[in-house]
Amino acid sequence: MVIAFAAITSLAGCAGEVIVRDRPPAARVEVIEGSPSARHVWIPGHWAWEGEWVWKKGYWEVPPREHGEWIPGHWAERPRGWVWVEGHWRE
């Protein structure tokens, strides 16, 4: 059983962020089926903290703009724990 502690911090002008004390589990290996079209981009799965570690499966998505590149989200280690950095589209 893994017990992790999460704290929510609030920064002036920013939404709160969840800080998880325990390192997230290693990413799962996902089987990527064929793309629905040539325009779709694979968004890889990741671990999310919801009071416990929960795997969010990857999925196909059409970029909001042609030739958009997906920059995957990731867990970043900070002095007080681990923080989720959202993925985003780069044009």
- State the pTM of this model: 0.78
Q: Say yes or no to pLDDT of 5 above 80.
A: no
Pairing type for strands 41-43 and 53-56 reads: unpaired
pLDDT band per the 50, 70, 90 thresholds, residue 15? low
Q: Which one is predicted more confidently, 31 or 6?
A: 31
Alpha-carbon span 58 to 28, nearest angstrom: 10
Among candidate residues 25, 31, 16, 32, the one with its CA nearest the CA of residue 75:
25
Share of the chain above pLDDT 70, in %: 82
Domain ranges of the chain: 6-90
